[in-house]
Structure 1
Amino acid sequence: MEAVLAKYENQINVFSEYLEDLPDTDEPVWILGECYDVKTGKSELLSDVRSRLWFTYRKKFSPIGGTGPSSDTGWGCMLRCGQMILAQALVCRHLGREWRWVAEGTQPVEYQRILHCFLDRKDSCYSIHQMAQMGVGEGKSVGEWYGPNTVAQVLKKLALFDDWNSLAVYVSMDNTVVIEDISKCLGTMLYILAAPCPLSHFHATSQHPLDWRPLLLLIPLRMGINDINPVYIQALKECFKMPQSCGVLGGKPNLAYYFIGFVDDELIYLDPHTTQLAVDSETGSTVDDQSYHCQRNPRRMKITSLDPSVALGFFCKSEEDFDSWCNLVQQEILKKRNLRMFELVEKHPSHWPPFITPTKPEVQTTGAGGSTVLIT
C-alpha cells in the first residue's frame, strides 16, 4: 500500500505543472487581500503564505466511522482544501488577518484551539472524519471525491455544531448572492439602502447590529464549460484583492487546490497532495504544528489551466466588513464586467424555492468509532 501511495503522489507532482520559484517581476503579488512587491518584500510575502494553515492528506488516523478508511490519500484533497478555506476564516475571526506564524515560537491559545478543530479525530468538529460523514447527506460516499459546491455545503452544515466560533456560513446558489437570505443565516435583519439608480451603490445596515455574527460567504461558480472563460479572469483577480478574501476552492479535474492569490497570469496555491502521518494529540494539549504550515515556496499555475468549477470564499467579521465587500463587488465585479461572474441582489428571487434557514441536521451515532452521520 505504501508503494501505491508513493507512486500516486509522484504522478500528482508530474501532472500538476507547478512552479515553485517566485518570479523576478515588477508585477504585484496579491495574497488574500494583501499586496506585495517580490523585489522588496519577498520575506514578508513568504511569511504570510507560511502562516496559512496547510492541510494535506494524512495516514494512520482512526478509521472513519470505525471501519472505514484510515487515510484520505487519493480522495480527500477537496476536503482538505475546504478545511484550509475555513481555517483562514477562523484565523481572521480570532487572530486577525495580520497574524503571522513563527516556527518554534509560542502560539496564542486561540491558534491552538483553531488547530484542534481540524485534527484527524472523530471528535474534532472539522476533521476529515466529520466532513466525510456529513458528506453522506450530500450524496457522497466516504472515500468519494468531492467538488467545490459539495464541500461548501458540508462546511455550512458542520458550522451549525460549532458553538465556539459561532460562524454563519452562507452558500450561494445559481451564481447569486442574496442579502435577504444572508440576513436569515445571521439571525438579524439586513437592509440595503440604494441610491436612486437601483443597485448603483450598496450599503447594508442591520436592524440589530449587536446580533452580527462572523460570516463566511462561499460562492460556487462555473466559469466556463471545459475551461475557464477568459472573460472572467480579471474579475477572479479582483476577488483576491479584496480584504475579505478567504481564497478559492478549485483546481484541475480530480486535483483540488486551495488558491490564495495571484501574480500576473498565474495563480498561487497551497497543495494538499502530500501524505503525512496523522498527528496524535489529546484534546486540550499543545499540537506539534510544524506539519500544518507549508514551509517551501508557494506553488503557481497558469490561470488558463484552472478548471471552471470553483467556489469563492470571503470572510466578513463585522457589519462594516460586509458593507465594504458589497461595495467592492458592485464596483469591481458588477459595474466593470460585461459578463458578470456572479450577481448580488437584495431580495430572494420569487421564482426560487423558499430559502430555508440553516438548522442543525439530525444526527445519529453509528459505527465502532461512535462518529456522527447525517440522517437524510
Structure 2
Amino acid sequence: MDFKRLLKKSRSSKGLNRLNMDMMFEAYLTQESGHLEPEDIPHTKEPVWILGKKYSALHDLEQIRRDIRSRLWFSYRKGFVPIGDTGLTSDKGWGCMLRCGQMLLAQALLFLHLGRDWVWSPQVKDRTYLRILRMFEDRRSAPYSIHQIALTGASEGKEVGEWFGPNTVAQVLRKLSVYDEWSSLAIHVALDNALVINEVRKLCTGGVTGRTVTDGREPRVGVGRTRRPTGSYWKPLLLVIPLRLGISEINPVYVQGLKTCFTFPQSVGVIGGKPNHALYFVGCVGNDVIFLDPHTTQQIGFITNKDEEHEKKTDCSYHCQQASRLHILNMDPSVAVSFFCRTESDFDALCQQIKECLVLPEKQPLFEICEERQECWTPQEDTAQEALGATSCSFYSDRQFDDSDEDFELLG
C-alpha cells in the first residue's frame, strides 16, 4: 500500500472522513512493520466476533481459541495422486483459493450436521465429523477434494494450476454440491452485487416460493410469500455473495459493512485474502480481521476411524492451533461474503438483518437486496458461466508457478 498516494487521493475525496484516514494510517503502519503482531487475539475491550458468535478477548480467550481450532483448516498438501494428466502431485503455489473454498464449504457442513456449538479436540472420534472430513481428502473419489475442484474448473475453462478468484471457486463448489445427496445442500452464488430473495427461495424449495410450514409458524405476508403445501421442505442453504470492494485497495466506506457480516449468526466467513495471498476470514476484532491461512505445505494423510496413532496426527493436521489477523484495509478488495441458513426462518432472519444492518444504515452498502430480479439484469446462468470460463489475463498474464510458500495467487 502506498500511503502517500492514498493520502493524496483522500484529500480530493469528499467521501473520506477523519475516521477513514485514521484507519488507513493504522493499516499502513501495520504493513510497514513487516509482520503481524505475535498474538492471535489482541488484549482489548472490543468484542471478538467468530462466525457470528461474540466473545470477550479479556475473559473468553481460551473459548475463542477452541472455537477457531474447531474449524476445519485445509492447507497445501503434497504427495497425492496426480490430478488428471497434469502430473501435479501438490497444490503448493496455486491451490490457496481452492483450499479457502474447501474451508468455507466444510464450515457450512459442520454447521449443518453437527451444529454451531460443536467443539473439536484431538480425542474426538465422532462418525459424522470424520465423514465430513473424508469428503475433502486429497483423492479423486472424495466429492470435494482438490482433484474434483481443479478438474471441475478445468471443464469450464480454468486449467489445472490456474489461480481461482472467490467467485470462480464458489461456482465450482456449487456444481459439485449437486452430487452430495447426504448433505442436500443448496449453494447460491449471488451475482451482480445483488441478493434476489425469490431466486434463493426457488432454489431451496424446488421452485415453489413462500414459507415452509414445518416450523409451526404462520407465513408473513409479502411479495412471493405464499403458503406451500404441508410436507414441503427447505434445502439447507450456503449463500455466497462475491464482491469487489475497491480497485486495488478496499474502499474504507465498505469496512463497517464487511465487519458487520461476521456478527450475523448465519455467518460462515469470507473468502478473499491479501494481494497475492488467498485467506479464509472467520472473524474480526476492532479493525482487524481474523483468518486461517492455507499457505503451509503438509504431507497427505487419510483417516478411517481414527483408531491408529497416525490417523490421530493426520486429524490434528486439519486444525490450526492459532489463527492470524490482519488490518481490514490490507485485504484484497475481491472477496466473497458467505452465510449458512439451515431453515427458511434462518434465511428470513438473514434478509431482515441485511436490510436493517447493511443496506439502510449505509450510504454505499456492500450489496443490494430485492425480492425479484430486474428484467434489465443479465440472466444468472449466463453470468455464472462467464465467471467460470473467463481467465483474468490482466491479473495472471505474468504469473509463474510459485516455488515457495511466500508468493501466492493474485486474486481476481
**TM-score normalised over the length of structure 2:** 0.77
Aligned to 2:315: 289
Q: Give yes or no for contact 1:261–1:268 (8 Å, CA) kept in 2.
A: yes
Q: Work out the CA distance in 1 between the residues paired with 2:226 and 2:174.
A: 24
Q: Give yes or no for contact 1:251–1:257 (8 Å, CA) kept in 2.
A: yes
Amino acid at match of 1:253: P
Pair 16,124 (structure 1): closer, same or farther in 2 beyond 3 Å: farther
Aligned to 2:24: none
Percent identity, please: 49
Aligned to 1:279: 301
Does 2:102 align with 1:76? no
Q: Work out the CA distance in 2 between the residues paired with 1:16 and 1:259.
A: 20
Q: Work out the CA distance in 2 between the residues paired with 1:90 and 1:15.
A: 38
The 5 A counterparts of 1:16-165 are: 17-21=35-39, 22-103=41-122, 105-165=123-183
Q: Work out the CA distance in 1 between the residues paired with 2:96 and 2:276.
A: 9
Amino acid at match of 1:89: A
Q: Work out the CA distance in 2 between the residues paired with 1:268 and 1:16.
A: 18
User: Hey, which of these two has a bigger chunk of strand by percent?
Assistant: 1
Over residues 165-209 of structure 1, what are the superposed CA-to-partner deviations in whole Å (9 max), with x where a residue is unaligned? 1000000111011112112322143349888xxxxx999676257
Q: Give yes or no for contact 1:333–1:341 (8 Å, CA) kept in 2.
A: yes
Does 2:237 align with 1:215? yes
Q: Secondary structure at the match of 1:130?
A: helix
Unpaired stretches in structure 1, ≥5 consecutive residues: 1-13, 196-200, 358-376
Q: Work out the CA distance in 2 between the residues paired with 1:185 and 1:289.
A: 34
Q: Secondary structure at the match of 1:36?
A: strand
Aligned to 2:18: none
Counterpart of 2:333 (choices 282, 295, 308) is 308
Does 2:284 align with 1:262? yes
More displaced stretch, 134-143 vs 216-225: 134-143
Q: Work out the CA distance in 1 between the residues paired with 2:192 and 2:264.
A: 22
Aligned to 1:372: none
Q: Secondary structure at the match of 1:241?
A: coil
Amino acid at match of 1:86: L
Does 2:344 align with 1:319? yes
1:266 offset after TM fit, Å? 0.4
Q: Work out the CA distance in 2 between the residues paired with 1:290 and 1:41.
A: 23
1:68 offset after TM fit, Å? 2.8
Aligned to 2:372: 347
Pair 275,150 (structure 1): closer, same or farther in 2 beyond 3 Å: same
Q: Give yes or no for contact 1:204–1:323 (8 Å, CA) kept in 2.
A: no
Q: Give yes or no for contact 2:224–2:371 (8 Å, CA) kept in 1.
A: no
Aligned to 1:239: 261
Q: Secondary structure at the match of 1:129?
A: helix
Specify the structure having the higher radius of gyration (Cα).
2
Q: Secondary structure at the match of 1:90?
A: helix
Aligned to 1:365: none
Q: Secondary structure at the match of 2:317?
A: helix
Over residues 283-313 of structure 1, what are the superposed CA-to-partner deviations in whole Å (9 max), with x where a residue is unaligned? x776541100001x22000001011100011
Pair 49,203 (structure 1): closer, same or farther in 2 beyond 3 Å: farther
Over residues 128-187 of structure 1, what are the superposed CA-to-partner deviations in whole Å (9 max), with x where a residue is unaligned? 000001111342110111110000101100101111110000001110111121123221
Q: Work out the CA distance in 2 between the residues paired with 1:35 and 1:47.
A: 14
1:348 offset after TM fit, Å? 1.8
Q: Work out the CA distance in 2 between the residues paired with 1:206 and 1:300.
A: 45
Q: Give yes or no for contact 1:188–1:212 (8 Å, CA) kept in 2.
A: no
Amino acid at match of 1:335: L
Aligned-pair Cα RMSD in Å? 2.3
The number of residues matched between the two structures is 336
Over residues 204-235 of structure 1, what are the superposed CA-to-partner deviations in whole Å (9 max), with x where a residue is unaligned? 67625732010000000001111101011000
Q: Give yes or no for contact 2:46–2:286 (8 Å, CA) kept in 1.
A: yes
More displaced stretch, 179-188 vs 163-172: 179-188
Q: Work out the CA distance in 2 between the residues paired with 1:168 and 1:310.
A: 20
